[in-house]
Amino acid sequence: MECDICMRDFGGRRQPLCVSCAHAKLYGPRVQQAGALLEREHSHRHADAVIRPGNDGVLAALPEDVDFDAITAGMKKHSHDRAQAERQSTENRVNAIVNKAEELKSEMQAYKSKTEMQKEDLERRRKVLATERQEHEKQKPRTIEPVQTVTSKTSQRLERTHNRIVDCRVLLCREAATSSNLQRRKGAKGRSEYTLGGLVVPDLRELNIRTQPSNKAASVGGRTVAEPHDLVSEALDNVARLVNLTAHYLSVRLPAEIILPHEDFPRAVIMTEKSSYKFKKVPFPGVSGSQSSSPAASRIIDQNQPRPRMLWLDRPLSQLVKDDPKAYGLFVEGVTLLAWDIAWLCKTQGVESITTFEDICSMGKNLYQLLVSPSRKSNHKGADQDEKAREARLGIFSHGTARHNIASSEGLDLFKEWKMPSTSRLADKLRSYLLTEISGAEWDLLEEREWDEEREDEKPVLVGGSRRPQESKHVAMSVMTVAPREDDDASDWKQKGNNGWMKVRGRNQAS
């Protein structure tokens, strides 16, 4: 190739020398590059035409020598067939929708007809019900009046019967108290004391004093009872008998079961609350000294049989606590359970004055308030009576009737505000009280010969000669400080000198 400027030929081995030679050298590659770019641009346009939606893309995808007339005719035919198919499908859908609409229209018409018929039927029934209601309202007074009359008469008969039952209960309880000779009298110091069967009902806090031996033999019911603890035992038997009889007349189930003497069961006992009314045959506990001391035997008794609490003493209480502390504890539990039964029975029958431990200990006072007190005799036959006062009467609440039942919610309301400790705590408190009294009193045992060894300057001198104290066949107890006595024996003792209780000087004092 020859350059136009330098007029020189250059080939593969000769290099260009001027600008024209360089342009001539680069002309061929530049033409090739331009052709490649044009071909690339054509390819891009063809690709854009192919992917373009519609017929433009289809046409652009066809080769250049294609027969457009044939293609156009085919496209028209295809479009016509597709339009016919779409039209036929649309007509079918329209026909189906029309048919469905007609069907729904028929169903709606049927529902409307059914609704109209139901409305007519309901309206007719309303008219019938209105007519029947009017007739019922007219006949209602005539129909209800006999029922109300019978109900009223039945309620009155039931009320009269209930009142008669209550009156019978009250009469039986008061007659039982009267036949048992439950009375109140003034003691030696002007304090009230309560007797049952001629025996003083002991206050639980005075058991130590009541059971101490006296040199004077007490005469009760035409016979001589030598020991005060025998009097206390008989008084407790009388109390247990009267309480059990009262509970029977009132149809009340006591919390702690009382077992009265019967065949092969000479003395009354009381069961704990957990063991009450669970055993048909309860073995007699017997005297504490005669019980078996075998550990195996005691285990068999404890496992198979209940353990009743005794209500009697075979010796003074201060001596029992030294000789047999276990029997002493059982006796204290027994009298506590008996006092608890009395307090619980008083609470169910409207006696609201028992609120403290001291009140529970006063068994005679509680029995008197329950059965004999004039304030308990309220008239319940008047038409204008006070319902609360009536419900506080003796004999209203019991376990034997559905009305005013102690186990019902109405009966449970009686104990809603009765804040009293359990029987075990009451027994512990009484045991502590009695033991404190014994230890504080400093009991001193005097043998029979010690009663005879009196100082000459301490002998009582009476007109007509001196009188020595009567001798006792029993061991007597004396106390360093004289405790208060409220029974008649105390006043007799004060009048007749140093029989029974006496204040002794210390053993270490010089005679």
- Which string of DSSP letters, residue by residue, matches 319-382? HHHHH-HHHHHHHHHHHHHHHHHHHHHHHHTT-----SHHHHH-HHHHHHHHHT-GGG-----S
CA 169, 175, 179, 181 torsion: positive or negative? positive
How far is residue 240's CA from residue 248's CA, in Å, rounded to a whole number?
12
Cα dihedral 72, 76, 77, 82 sign: positive
The confidence band for 77, taking pLDDT boundaries of 50, 70 and 90, is confident
Q: Round to whole Å and give the CA distance between 7 and 15.
A: 14
pLDDT tens track for 341-350: 999 999 999 8
314, 327 in Cβ contact below 8 A? no
Per-residue pLDDT at 106: 93
Residue 333 scores a pLDDT above 70: yes
- The sign of the dihedral angle between the CA atoms of 227, 228, 231, 232 is negative
**Look-up of token digits 């307090």:** 343
Give 161-206 pLDDT, tens digit per residue. 989 999 999 999 999 999 999 999 987 777 889 999 999 999 999 9
pLDDT band at 48 (very low <50, low <70, confident <90, very high): confident
Q: Does an H or E element contain 426, and which?
A: helix 423-441
Beta bridge partners of 461: 466
State how far Cα 371 lies from the chain centre. 32
**Sequence letter at residue 77:** K
Nearest Cα neighbor of 233 from 309, 130, 324, 314 is 314
**Pick from 229, 189, 207, 212: which is nearest to 339 by CA?**
207
Task: Give the pTM.
Answer: 0.59
Which tokens hold the place of 243? 């309480």
Q: How confident is the model over 383-415, as pLDDT tens digits?
A: 345 454 454 578 899 998 888 899 888 888 888
Identity at 53, one-letter amino acid code: P
Q: What share of the chain is helix, strand, coil (3-state, %, to 5)?
A: 55, 10, 35
- Between CA 209 and CA 500 the distance in angstroms is 12
Neighbour tally for 255: CB within 10 Å: 15
Please give the Cα distance from 413 to 411 (Å, whole number). Answer: 5
Burial class (CB in 10 A: 0-12, 13-18, 19+), 121: exposed
Contacts of 240 by beta carbon, 8 Å cutoff, 6+ apart: 258, 260, 268, 270, 311, 338
pLDDT of 112-150, one tens digit each? Answer: 999 999 999 999 999 999 999 999 888 888 888 888 999
**Predicted local distance difference test score (pLDDT) of residue 439:** 80
pLDDT in tens, 218-260: 555 555 555 888 899 999 999 999 999 999 999 999 999 999 9
**Rounded to an integer, what distance in angstroms lies between the CA atom of residue 504 and that of residue 511?**
12
Q: Which of 400, 245, 394 is closest to 258 using CA atoms?
A: 245
Structure confidence by residue, pLDDT tens digits, 278-287: 887 888 886 4
Cβ neighbours, 10 Å, residue 169? 22
CA-based torsion, 6, 7, 11, 13: positive or negative? negative
Q: Please work out, in degrees rounded to the nearest 5, the angle formed at the alpha carbon of residue 216 by the alpha carbons of 211 and 219.
A: 85
Q: Is the confidence at residue 271, as pLDDT, over 90?
A: yes
Quote the percentage of the chain above a pLDDT of 90: 40
SS3 271: coil
End-to-end CA distance of the chain: 176
Contact 403, 396 (CB under 8 A): no
